[in-house]
Chains A and B, each alone.
Chain A
Amino acid sequence: MNTLKGPFRIIIKEMNPTFLWNVGITIALLGLFIVLSFYTNGNEHLGITFGPFYVIFLVYPFILMKAYKCILSLGGTRKQYMIATFLSISIYLVLSAIILNGLYYLSPYVFNQGYIFHMADLVNGSNPLLYVWIDVLWMFILFGIGVLVQTIYFNLGTVRTLSVGAVLLIISLATVFFADLGPLFEFFLTEQLSFVHILAGVSVLFVLLSYLFMKNGPLEKGDRYLFSRGWKEPKPE
Protein backbone atom coordinates (compact mmCIF):
# COMPACT_ATOMS: atom_id res chain seq x y z
CA MET A 1 0.00 0.00 0.00
CA ASN A 2 1.27 3.46 -0.85
CA THR A 3 1.78 5.17 2.50
CA LEU A 4 1.00 8.58 0.96
CA LYS A 5 -2.51 7.55 -0.07
CA GLY A 6 -4.11 8.19 3.32
CA PRO A 7 -2.55 11.63 3.97
CA PHE A 8 -3.31 12.70 0.40
CA ARG A 9 -6.98 11.68 0.64
CA ILE A 10 -7.36 13.46 3.98
CA ILE A 11 -5.95 16.69 2.53
CA ILE A 12 -8.22 16.43 -0.52
CA LYS A 13 -11.22 15.89 1.78
CA GLU A 14 -10.33 19.08 3.68
CA MET A 15 -9.76 21.13 0.51
CA ASN A 16 -12.78 20.01 -1.48
CA PRO A 17 -15.57 22.02 0.21
CA THR A 18 -13.69 25.34 0.07
CA PHE A 19 -12.67 24.69 -3.51
CA LEU A 20 -16.24 24.00 -4.57
CA TRP A 21 -17.44 27.08 -2.68
CA ASN A 22 -14.90 29.13 -4.58
CA VAL A 23 -15.99 27.75 -7.92
CA GLY A 24 -19.56 28.70 -6.98
CA ILE A 25 -18.59 32.21 -5.83
CA THR A 26 -16.50 32.80 -8.97
CA ILE A 27 -19.34 31.69 -11.24
CA ALA A 28 -21.72 33.91 -9.26
CA LEU A 29 -19.30 36.84 -9.74
CA LEU A 30 -19.27 36.19 -13.47
CA GLY A 31 -23.06 36.16 -13.39
CA LEU A 32 -23.03 39.52 -11.63
CA PHE A 33 -20.65 40.93 -14.24
CA ILE A 34 -22.91 39.62 -17.02
CA VAL A 35 -25.78 41.61 -15.51
CA LEU A 36 -23.53 44.67 -15.06
CA SER A 37 -22.36 44.41 -18.67
CA PHE A 38 -25.87 45.38 -19.77
CA TYR A 39 -25.81 48.55 -17.69
CA THR A 40 -22.30 49.81 -18.39
CA ASN A 41 -21.37 52.54 -20.83
CA GLY A 42 -18.70 51.62 -23.32
CA ASN A 43 -15.96 49.02 -22.92
CA GLU A 44 -15.39 49.50 -19.21
CA HIS A 45 -13.58 47.38 -16.67
CA LEU A 46 -16.29 45.49 -14.74
CA GLY A 47 -14.22 43.84 -12.00
CA ILE A 48 -12.20 40.73 -11.29
CA THR A 49 -13.10 37.05 -10.93
CA PHE A 50 -9.77 35.78 -9.56
CA GLY A 51 -10.27 37.25 -6.06
CA PRO A 52 -11.86 34.23 -4.31
CA PHE A 53 -9.33 31.78 -5.73
CA TYR A 54 -6.36 34.00 -4.92
CA VAL A 55 -7.58 34.50 -1.36
CA ILE A 56 -8.25 30.82 -0.76
CA PHE A 57 -4.70 29.85 -1.72
CA LEU A 58 -3.47 32.29 0.89
CA VAL A 59 -5.80 30.73 3.45
CA TYR A 60 -5.48 27.02 2.54
CA PRO A 61 -2.44 26.42 4.78
CA PHE A 62 -4.53 27.49 7.79
CA ILE A 63 -7.51 25.37 6.74
CA LEU A 64 -5.26 22.34 6.36
CA MET A 65 -3.90 22.39 9.90
CA LYS A 66 -6.80 20.26 11.08
CA ALA A 67 -5.63 17.64 8.59
CA TYR A 68 -2.13 17.81 10.13
CA LYS A 69 -3.41 16.51 13.46
CA CYS A 70 -5.67 13.94 11.83
CA ILE A 71 -2.82 12.57 9.71
CA LEU A 72 -0.42 12.32 12.65
CA SER A 73 -3.02 10.72 14.86
CA LEU A 74 -3.74 8.04 12.27
CA GLY A 75 -0.05 7.17 12.06
CA GLY A 76 1.11 9.45 9.26
CA THR A 77 4.23 11.59 9.48
CA ARG A 78 4.87 15.31 9.27
CA LYS A 79 6.74 14.79 6.01
CA GLN A 80 3.77 12.95 4.55
CA TYR A 81 1.51 15.81 5.58
CA MET A 82 3.74 18.36 3.85
CA ILE A 83 4.20 16.28 0.70
CA ALA A 84 0.46 15.50 0.52
CA THR A 85 -0.28 19.23 0.99
CA PHE A 86 2.09 20.30 -1.80
CA LEU A 87 0.75 17.59 -4.10
CA SER A 88 -2.89 18.53 -3.50
CA ILE A 89 -2.16 22.25 -3.79
CA SER A 90 -0.44 21.64 -7.15
CA ILE A 91 -3.48 19.81 -8.47
CA TYR A 92 -5.90 22.48 -7.22
CA LEU A 93 -3.63 25.25 -8.58
CA VAL A 94 -3.87 23.85 -12.07
CA LEU A 95 -7.62 23.18 -11.75
CA SER A 96 -8.23 26.68 -10.40
CA ALA A 97 -6.20 28.32 -13.19
CA ILE A 98 -8.10 26.32 -15.81
CA ILE A 99 -11.46 27.32 -14.32
CA LEU A 100 -10.48 30.98 -13.94
CA ASN A 101 -9.18 31.24 -17.49
CA GLY A 102 -12.05 29.23 -18.91
CA LEU A 103 -14.43 31.81 -17.41
CA TYR A 104 -12.16 34.67 -18.51
CA TYR A 105 -12.17 33.49 -22.13
CA LEU A 106 -15.90 32.82 -21.96
CA SER A 107 -16.64 36.34 -20.72
CA PRO A 108 -16.45 38.23 -24.08
CA TYR A 109 -19.11 35.89 -25.46
CA VAL A 110 -21.55 36.44 -22.61
CA PHE A 111 -20.91 40.12 -21.81
CA ASN A 112 -22.89 42.81 -23.58
CA GLN A 113 -20.16 45.38 -23.00
CA GLY A 114 -17.10 45.72 -20.78
CA TYR A 115 -14.44 43.25 -19.70
CA ILE A 116 -12.99 41.63 -16.59
CA PHE A 117 -9.47 42.29 -15.46
CA HIS A 118 -6.85 39.51 -15.50
CA MET A 119 -3.45 39.81 -13.81
CA ALA A 120 -1.85 38.81 -17.12
CA ASP A 121 -3.26 42.01 -18.64
CA LEU A 122 -0.26 43.71 -16.99
CA VAL A 123 2.10 41.50 -18.97
CA ASN A 124 2.85 42.11 -22.61
CA GLY A 125 1.52 39.02 -24.30
CA SER A 126 -1.68 37.48 -25.52
CA ASN A 127 -0.86 33.77 -25.43
CA PRO A 128 -3.69 32.00 -23.53
CA LEU A 129 -1.14 29.72 -21.85
CA LEU A 130 0.64 32.81 -20.51
CA TYR A 131 -2.65 33.84 -18.89
CA VAL A 132 -3.01 30.45 -17.25
CA TRP A 133 0.65 30.56 -16.17
CA ILE A 134 0.30 34.01 -14.58
CA ASP A 135 -2.68 32.80 -12.54
CA VAL A 136 -0.74 29.72 -11.45
CA LEU A 137 2.20 31.91 -10.42
CA TRP A 138 0.10 34.37 -8.44
CA MET A 139 -1.80 31.63 -6.63
CA PHE A 140 1.48 29.88 -5.87
CA ILE A 141 2.97 33.15 -4.58
CA LEU A 142 0.04 33.61 -2.26
CA PHE A 143 0.19 29.99 -1.13
CA GLY A 144 3.91 30.40 -0.40
CA ILE A 145 3.23 33.45 1.77
CA GLY A 146 0.32 31.71 3.49
CA VAL A 147 2.23 28.52 4.21
CA LEU A 148 5.21 30.40 5.68
CA VAL A 149 3.02 32.59 7.89
CA GLN A 150 1.02 29.58 9.00
CA THR A 151 4.20 27.59 9.73
CA ILE A 152 5.58 30.43 11.85
CA TYR A 153 2.23 30.84 13.57
CA PHE A 154 1.90 27.12 14.30
CA ASN A 155 5.45 26.73 15.55
CA LEU A 156 5.73 29.90 17.60
CA GLY A 157 2.14 30.53 18.67
CA THR A 158 0.10 33.73 18.65
CA VAL A 159 2.19 35.98 20.91
CA ARG A 160 5.55 35.22 19.35
CA THR A 161 4.12 35.40 15.81
CA LEU A 162 2.62 38.81 16.57
CA SER A 163 5.99 39.93 17.95
CA VAL A 164 7.74 38.79 14.77
CA GLY A 165 4.96 40.48 12.75
CA ALA A 166 5.43 43.75 14.66
CA VAL A 167 9.18 43.72 13.97
CA LEU A 168 8.56 43.04 10.28
CA LEU A 169 5.97 45.84 10.16
CA ILE A 170 8.42 48.32 11.68
CA ILE A 171 11.11 47.27 9.19
CA SER A 172 8.62 47.61 6.30
CA LEU A 173 7.46 51.06 7.41
CA ALA A 174 11.06 52.20 7.86
CA THR A 175 11.84 50.92 4.36
CA VAL A 176 8.87 52.76 2.87
CA PHE A 177 9.83 56.01 4.62
CA PHE A 178 13.57 55.97 4.25
CA ALA A 179 14.36 53.88 1.17
CA ASP A 180 13.75 54.85 -2.45
CA LEU A 181 11.24 52.27 -3.68
CA GLY A 182 10.68 54.04 -6.99
CA PRO A 183 12.85 51.65 -9.05
CA LEU A 184 11.02 48.68 -7.51
CA PHE A 185 7.61 50.06 -8.50
CA GLU A 186 8.95 50.84 -11.95
CA PHE A 187 10.27 47.30 -12.25
CA PHE A 188 6.87 45.95 -11.13
CA LEU A 189 5.07 47.99 -13.76
CA THR A 190 7.47 47.59 -16.66
CA GLU A 191 8.81 44.08 -16.11
CA GLN A 192 5.69 42.37 -14.76
CA LEU A 193 6.62 38.94 -16.06
CA SER A 194 10.08 39.01 -14.49
CA PHE A 195 8.66 40.47 -11.29
CA VAL A 196 6.08 37.68 -10.94
CA HIS A 197 8.71 35.04 -11.62
CA ILE A 198 11.02 36.52 -8.97
CA LEU A 199 8.14 36.51 -6.47
CA ALA A 200 7.37 32.90 -7.40
CA GLY A 201 11.04 32.07 -6.79
CA VAL A 202 10.81 33.66 -3.36
CA SER A 203 7.65 31.63 -2.78
CA VAL A 204 9.54 28.43 -3.61
CA LEU A 205 11.98 29.41 -0.85
CA PHE A 206 9.06 30.02 1.53
CA VAL A 207 7.65 26.58 0.74
CA LEU A 208 11.05 24.93 1.28
CA LEU A 209 11.51 26.80 4.56
CA SER A 210 8.06 25.67 5.68
CA TYR A 211 8.90 22.09 4.83
CA LEU A 212 12.12 22.27 6.83
CA PHE A 213 10.30 23.85 9.77
CA MET A 214 7.36 21.44 9.72
CA LYS A 215 9.15 18.16 9.02
CA ASN A 216 9.89 18.03 12.76
CA GLY A 217 7.05 20.33 13.75
CA PRO A 218 5.37 20.32 17.18
CA LEU A 219 2.09 18.55 17.83
CA GLU A 220 0.33 21.62 19.16
CA LYS A 221 0.34 25.26 18.09
CA GLY A 222 3.11 27.32 19.68
CA ASP A 223 4.95 24.40 21.23
CA ARG A 224 8.33 25.00 19.62
CA TYR A 225 11.13 26.90 21.24
CA LEU A 226 12.85 29.19 18.79
CA PHE A 227 16.43 28.88 19.90
CA SER A 228 16.55 25.51 21.61
CA ARG A 229 15.64 22.00 20.62
CA GLY A 230 12.56 21.14 22.58
CA TRP A 231 8.95 21.88 23.32
CA LYS A 232 6.88 23.70 25.83
CA GLU A 233 5.30 21.79 28.66
CA PRO A 234 2.31 19.69 27.62
CA LYS A 235 -1.16 19.98 29.05
CA PRO A 236 -1.66 17.65 32.03
CA GLU A 237 -2.70 14.13 31.03
Chain B
Amino acid sequence: MIKIDNLSFSYGNAKALQNVSFHENEPIIIGLWGRSGSGKTTLMKLLSGMEQPNQGTISVNGVSPYNNSEAMNHVTFMQEDHPFSDLWDVDDALRFGSYFNENWDQSLAEHLLDVFELPRKKKIRNFSKGMKSMIKITLGLASKAPVTIMDEPANGLDASMRKTFYDVLLDTYEESPRLIMLSTHHIDEVEPLCEKIALINQHTITRYEETEKLKRQGILLTGPADAVRSVIGTSNVLGERKIGKQLHVMIDDNYDDSLITQTQATGITVEKAPLQDYLVNLTKKGTTKA
Protein backbone atom coordinates (compact mmCIF):
# COMPACT_ATOMS: atom_id res chain seq x y z
CA MET B 1 0.00 0.00 0.00
CA ILE B 2 2.87 2.33 0.84
CA LYS B 3 6.28 1.79 -0.69
CA ILE B 4 9.00 4.38 -0.14
CA ASP B 5 12.55 3.78 -1.32
CA ASN B 6 15.57 6.00 -0.63
CA LEU B 7 13.40 9.08 -0.45
CA SER B 8 15.09 12.44 0.02
CA PHE B 9 13.57 15.89 0.01
CA SER B 10 14.96 19.34 0.67
CA TYR B 11 13.50 22.82 0.96
CA GLY B 12 16.20 24.68 -0.93
CA ASN B 13 19.34 23.80 0.96
CA ALA B 14 17.49 22.75 4.08
CA LYS B 15 17.26 19.00 4.33
CA ALA B 16 13.79 17.78 5.29
CA LEU B 17 14.01 14.04 4.63
CA GLN B 18 16.97 11.87 3.81
CA ASN B 19 17.14 8.27 2.62
CA VAL B 20 13.75 7.29 3.93
CA SER B 21 12.67 3.75 3.15
CA PHE B 22 9.38 2.39 4.37
CA HIS B 23 7.19 -0.45 3.22
CA GLU B 24 3.74 -1.40 4.46
CA ASN B 25 1.41 -3.69 2.56
CA GLU B 26 -1.22 -4.38 5.19
CA PRO B 27 -4.27 -2.25 5.98
CA ILE B 28 -3.29 -1.20 9.48
CA ILE B 29 -3.38 1.89 11.67
CA ILE B 30 0.05 3.46 11.96
CA GLY B 31 1.14 6.18 14.36
CA LEU B 32 3.77 8.53 12.98
CA TRP B 33 5.69 10.14 15.81
CA GLY B 34 8.47 12.66 15.58
CA ARG B 35 9.65 15.88 17.14
CA SER B 36 8.99 19.29 15.62
CA GLY B 37 10.93 19.73 12.41
CA SER B 38 11.72 16.01 12.13
CA GLY B 39 10.00 15.76 8.74
CA LYS B 40 6.61 14.23 9.60
CA THR B 41 4.50 16.73 7.71
CA THR B 42 6.88 16.72 4.74
CA LEU B 43 6.64 12.93 4.58
CA MET B 44 2.84 13.12 4.62
CA LYS B 45 2.83 15.79 1.93
CA LEU B 46 5.04 13.59 -0.23
CA LEU B 47 2.80 10.58 0.35
CA SER B 48 -0.27 12.57 -0.66
CA GLY B 49 1.40 13.96 -3.77
CA MET B 50 1.52 17.56 -2.60
CA GLU B 51 5.29 17.65 -2.95
CA GLN B 52 7.65 15.98 -5.38
CA PRO B 53 10.59 13.94 -4.07
CA ASN B 54 14.06 15.21 -4.93
CA GLN B 55 15.31 11.66 -4.88
CA GLY B 56 13.91 8.17 -4.49
CA THR B 57 10.46 6.80 -5.19
CA ILE B 58 7.06 6.76 -3.55
CA SER B 59 4.24 4.47 -4.45
CA VAL B 60 0.84 4.68 -2.75
CA ASN B 61 -1.41 1.77 -3.57
CA GLY B 62 0.69 1.24 -6.70
CA VAL B 63 0.41 4.85 -7.83
CA SER B 64 3.06 7.56 -7.85
CA PRO B 65 1.14 10.40 -6.18
CA TYR B 66 2.81 13.64 -7.33
CA ASN B 67 0.77 15.53 -9.93
CA ASN B 68 -1.19 12.37 -10.59
CA SER B 69 -4.95 12.90 -10.74
CA GLU B 70 -5.51 9.17 -10.23
CA ALA B 71 -3.87 9.40 -6.81
CA MET B 72 -6.90 11.18 -5.35
CA ASN B 73 -8.70 7.84 -5.42
CA HIS B 74 -5.95 6.14 -3.46
CA VAL B 75 -4.87 8.59 -0.81
CA THR B 76 -6.51 11.20 1.40
CA PHE B 77 -4.50 13.60 3.53
CA MET B 78 -6.10 15.77 6.18
CA GLN B 79 -3.58 18.41 7.17
CA GLU B 80 -3.21 19.86 10.64
CA ASP B 81 -4.08 23.31 9.27
CA HIS B 82 -6.32 22.03 6.51
CA PRO B 83 -7.39 24.78 4.13
CA PHE B 84 -11.11 25.35 3.69
CA SER B 85 -12.54 28.13 1.58
CA ASP B 86 -14.13 31.02 3.46
CA LEU B 87 -17.28 30.31 1.46
CA TRP B 88 -17.68 26.70 2.50
CA ASP B 89 -20.07 25.31 5.05
CA VAL B 90 -20.14 21.68 6.18
CA ASP B 91 -22.38 20.59 3.32
CA ASP B 92 -19.96 22.11 0.80
CA ALA B 93 -17.02 20.34 2.38
CA LEU B 94 -18.85 17.02 2.21
CA ARG B 95 -19.96 17.60 -1.38
CA PHE B 96 -16.44 18.41 -2.52
CA GLY B 97 -15.10 15.50 -0.50
CA SER B 98 -17.42 13.20 -2.46
CA TYR B 99 -16.16 14.60 -5.80
CA PHE B 100 -12.55 13.84 -4.89
CA ASN B 101 -12.98 10.32 -3.53
CA GLU B 102 -14.49 7.47 -5.50
CA ASN B 103 -14.98 5.41 -2.32
CA TRP B 104 -16.79 8.27 -0.59
CA ASP B 105 -19.27 7.02 2.04
CA GLN B 106 -22.01 9.63 2.38
CA SER B 107 -23.91 7.71 5.04
CA LEU B 108 -20.77 7.52 7.19
CA ALA B 109 -20.22 11.25 6.65
CA GLU B 110 -23.80 11.98 7.75
CA HIS B 111 -23.38 9.69 10.76
CA LEU B 112 -20.17 11.44 11.80
CA LEU B 113 -21.81 14.86 11.49
CA ASP B 114 -24.49 13.65 13.89
CA VAL B 115 -21.95 12.15 16.27
CA PHE B 116 -19.86 15.31 16.33
CA GLU B 117 -22.97 17.53 16.31
CA LEU B 118 -21.54 19.76 13.60
CA PRO B 119 -23.85 22.51 12.30
CA ARG B 120 -24.33 21.95 8.59
CA LYS B 121 -24.96 25.53 7.53
CA LYS B 122 -22.33 27.31 9.59
CA LYS B 123 -19.28 28.55 7.66
CA ILE B 124 -16.22 26.47 8.48
CA ARG B 125 -14.16 29.65 8.86
CA ASN B 126 -16.19 30.34 12.00
CA PHE B 127 -15.52 26.92 13.53
CA SER B 128 -13.49 26.46 16.70
CA LYS B 129 -10.24 24.48 16.53
CA GLY B 130 -11.98 21.37 17.83
CA MET B 131 -14.82 21.67 15.30
CA LYS B 132 -12.29 22.04 12.49
CA SER B 133 -10.65 18.83 13.68
CA MET B 134 -14.07 17.16 13.63
CA ILE B 135 -14.81 18.15 10.04
CA LYS B 136 -11.33 16.96 9.03
CA ILE B 137 -11.93 13.63 10.75
CA THR B 138 -15.29 13.37 9.00
CA LEU B 139 -13.77 14.06 5.58
CA GLY B 140 -10.82 11.77 6.20
CA LEU B 141 -12.83 8.79 7.38
CA ALA B 142 -15.74 9.17 4.94
CA SER B 143 -13.28 9.27 2.02
CA LYS B 144 -12.57 5.60 2.70
CA ALA B 145 -9.38 6.06 0.71
CA PRO B 146 -7.16 2.97 0.76
CA VAL B 147 -4.50 5.15 2.35
CA THR B 148 -5.85 7.77 4.77
CA ILE B 149 -3.39 10.14 6.41
CA MET B 150 -4.25 12.56 9.21
CA ASP B 151 -1.89 15.11 10.69
CA GLU B 152 -2.56 15.71 14.40
CA PRO B 153 -6.20 14.60 14.09
CA ALA B 154 -7.04 14.97 17.78
CA ASN B 155 -5.87 18.59 18.01
CA GLY B 156 -8.36 20.73 19.89
CA LEU B 157 -10.68 17.84 20.76
CA ASP B 158 -11.83 17.61 24.36
CA ALA B 159 -11.56 14.29 26.22
CA SER B 160 -15.08 13.24 25.31
CA MET B 161 -14.72 14.02 21.62
CA ARG B 162 -11.32 12.38 21.55
CA LYS B 163 -12.88 9.18 22.82
CA THR B 164 -15.63 9.52 20.22
CA PHE B 165 -12.95 9.92 17.55
CA TYR B 166 -11.21 6.74 18.70
CA ASP B 167 -14.49 4.86 18.64
CA VAL B 168 -15.59 5.99 15.18
CA LEU B 169 -12.13 5.42 13.74
CA LEU B 170 -11.97 1.87 15.06
CA ASP B 171 -15.55 1.18 13.95
CA THR B 172 -14.98 2.33 10.38
CA TYR B 173 -11.60 0.62 10.25
CA GLU B 174 -13.16 -2.64 11.36
CA GLU B 175 -15.88 -2.27 8.75
CA SER B 176 -13.50 -1.28 5.91
CA PRO B 177 -9.90 -2.08 6.79
CA ARG B 178 -7.50 0.37 5.18
CA LEU B 179 -4.15 1.91 5.93
CA ILE B 180 -4.63 4.84 8.27
CA MET B 181 -1.64 6.93 9.29
CA LEU B 182 -2.02 9.29 12.25
CA SER B 183 0.76 11.71 12.99
CA THR B 184 1.27 13.23 16.39
CA HIS B 185 3.69 14.94 18.75
CA HIS B 186 1.98 13.25 21.69
CA ILE B 187 2.01 9.52 21.15
CA ASP B 188 -0.36 8.96 24.08
CA GLU B 189 -3.12 10.59 21.98
CA VAL B 190 -3.09 7.91 19.29
CA GLU B 191 -1.12 5.03 20.77
CA PRO B 192 -4.25 3.09 21.86
CA LEU B 193 -5.34 3.00 18.21
CA CYS B 194 -2.11 2.11 16.49
CA GLU B 195 -0.92 -1.36 15.63
CA LYS B 196 2.45 -0.01 14.62
CA ILE B 197 4.41 3.14 15.27
CA ALA B 198 6.87 4.76 12.88
CA LEU B 199 9.45 6.92 14.54
CA ILE B 200 10.85 9.75 12.48
CA ASN B 201 14.05 11.33 13.70
CA GLN B 202 16.88 13.29 12.10
CA HIS B 203 14.95 13.42 8.79
CA THR B 204 14.45 9.70 8.40
CA ILE B 205 12.33 6.85 9.74
CA THR B 206 14.54 5.27 12.36
CA ARG B 207 12.15 2.70 13.73
CA TYR B 208 8.97 1.07 12.57
CA GLU B 209 7.68 -1.41 15.10
CA GLU B 210 4.58 -2.91 16.58
CA THR B 211 3.18 -0.66 19.27
CA GLU B 212 3.20 -3.40 21.88
CA LYS B 213 6.88 -4.07 21.27
CA LEU B 214 7.74 -0.39 21.46
CA LYS B 215 5.72 0.04 24.64
CA ARG B 216 7.90 -2.55 26.38
CA GLN B 217 10.97 -0.43 25.66
CA GLY B 218 12.40 2.09 28.08
CA ILE B 219 13.19 1.45 31.73
CA LEU B 220 13.50 3.95 34.54
CA LEU B 221 16.02 3.12 37.24
CA THR B 222 16.19 5.13 40.45
CA GLY B 223 18.51 4.44 43.33
CA PRO B 224 21.98 4.95 44.79
CA ALA B 225 24.29 6.14 42.01
CA ASP B 226 26.81 3.33 42.28
CA ALA B 227 24.16 0.63 42.39
CA VAL B 228 22.34 2.10 39.39
CA ARG B 229 25.55 2.35 37.38
CA SER B 230 26.34 -1.26 38.07
CA VAL B 231 22.93 -2.32 36.76
CA ILE B 232 23.12 -0.17 33.61
CA GLY B 233 26.01 -2.22 32.22
CA THR B 234 26.28 -1.75 28.48
CA SER B 235 22.70 -0.53 28.03
CA ASN B 236 22.06 2.61 26.08
CA VAL B 237 21.38 5.47 28.53
CA LEU B 238 18.70 7.76 27.17
CA GLY B 239 18.50 10.17 30.08
CA GLU B 240 20.22 10.76 33.36
CA ARG B 241 19.55 13.00 36.35
CA LYS B 242 21.33 13.10 39.67
CA ILE B 243 19.45 14.24 42.78
CA GLY B 244 21.79 14.18 45.80
CA LYS B 245 23.15 10.66 46.04
CA GLN B 246 20.28 9.27 44.02
CA LEU B 247 20.63 8.64 40.30
CA HIS B 248 17.65 8.57 38.00
CA VAL B 249 18.27 7.08 34.54
CA MET B 250 16.30 5.86 31.58
CA ILE B 251 17.80 2.99 29.61
CA ASP B 252 16.86 1.64 26.23
CA ASP B 253 15.98 -1.92 27.12
CA ASN B 254 13.05 -4.29 27.31
CA TYR B 255 11.06 -4.03 30.49
CA ASP B 256 10.75 -7.50 32.00
CA ASP B 257 10.64 -9.26 35.33
CA SER B 258 14.27 -10.41 35.22
CA LEU B 259 15.51 -6.88 35.79
CA ILE B 260 13.20 -6.43 38.78
CA THR B 261 14.47 -9.67 40.28
CA GLN B 262 18.06 -8.63 39.59
CA THR B 263 17.68 -5.30 41.34
CA GLN B 264 15.54 -6.39 44.28
CA ALA B 265 18.35 -6.44 46.82
CA THR B 266 20.08 -3.29 45.56
CA GLY B 267 17.50 -0.71 46.59
CA ILE B 268 16.90 0.33 43.00
CA THR B 269 13.41 1.14 41.86
CA VAL B 270 12.60 -0.19 38.40
CA GLU B 271 9.72 1.29 36.45
CA LYS B 272 8.45 1.19 32.91
CA ALA B 273 9.09 4.54 31.24
CA PRO B 274 6.04 6.20 29.70
CA LEU B 275 6.14 5.73 25.93
CA GLN B 276 6.12 9.49 25.24
CA ASP B 277 9.11 10.04 27.56
CA TYR B 278 10.92 7.10 26.05
CA LEU B 279 10.47 8.44 22.51
CA VAL B 280 11.46 11.96 23.54
CA ASN B 281 14.65 10.70 25.15
CA LEU B 282 15.34 8.35 22.28
CA THR B 283 15.30 11.20 19.81
CA LYS B 284 17.15 13.67 22.02
CA LYS B 285 20.52 14.84 20.77
CA GLY B 286 23.48 13.51 22.73
CA THR B 287 21.91 10.24 23.81
CA THR B 288 24.88 8.27 25.15
CA LYS B 289 26.05 4.78 25.65
CA ALA B 290 26.98 4.09 29.28
Interface, chain A (partner B; CB < 8 A): 1, 3-6, 9-10, 13-14, 17, 66-67, 69-70, 72-80, 215-216, 219, 223, 225, 228, 230-234, 236-237
Contacts and interface: CB of A to CB of B under 8 A. Distances in A.
B11 A232 contact: yes
Interface of B: 10-14, 16, 36-42, 45, 48-52, 54, 67-73, 75-77, 79-80, 82-88, 92, 95-97, 99-102
B79 A73 contact: yes
Contacts of A70: 83-85, 88, 96
Contacts of B14: 233
Contacts of A1: 73, 99, 102
Contacts of B11: 223, 230-234
Given A80-B69, A215-B67, A74 B97 contact: yes
B42 A74 contact: no
A75 B47 CA distance: 11
Contacts of B99: 1, 5-6, 9
Given A3-B72, A225-B12, A230-B12, 5 more contacts: A66-B83, A74-B100, A216-B67, A232-B11, A233-B11
21 contacts: A3-B72, A6-B100, A10-B96, A13-B85, A13-B87, A13-B92, A66-B83, A66-B85, A73-B77, A73-B82, A74-B97, A75-B72, A216-B52, A216-B67, A219-B45, A223-B11, A228-B12, A230-B10, A233-B11, A233-B14, A234-B42
10 closest A-B pairs by CB: A75-B72, A6-B99, A69-B83, A3-B69, A237-B41, A74-B100, A233-B14, A6-B100, A233-B11, A230-B12
Contacts of B102: 1
Contact of A78 (B10, B67, B82, B95): B67
B37 A75 contact: no
B36 A75 contact: no
A64 B51 CA distance: 20
Contacts of A223: 11
Contact of A237 (B10, B38, B87, B97): B38
Nearest to A6: B99
Nearest to A79: B67
B87 A14 contact: yes
Contacts of B87: 13-14, 17
Nearest to B42: A234
Contacts of A6: 72, 96, 99-100
B54 to A, nearest CB: 8
A233 B12 CA distance: 7
Contacts of B67: 77-79, 215-216
Contacts of A237: 36-42, 80
A4 to B, nearest CB: 8
B77 A75 contact: yes
A216 to B, nearest CB: 7
Given A69-B83, A225-B12, A230-B10, A236 B37 contact: yes
A230 B54 CA distance: 9
A75 B71 contact: yes
Contacts of B77: 73, 75
Contacts of B82: 73
B36 A76 contact: no
B41 A75 contact: no
A73 B72 CA distance: 10
Given A69-B83, A70-B85, A234 B41 contact: yes
Contact of B12 (A76, A77, A232): A232
A223 B52 CA distance: 14
A174 to B, nearest CB: 34
A69 B50 CA distance: 10
A236 B36 contact: yes
Contacts of B85: 10, 13-14, 66-67, 70
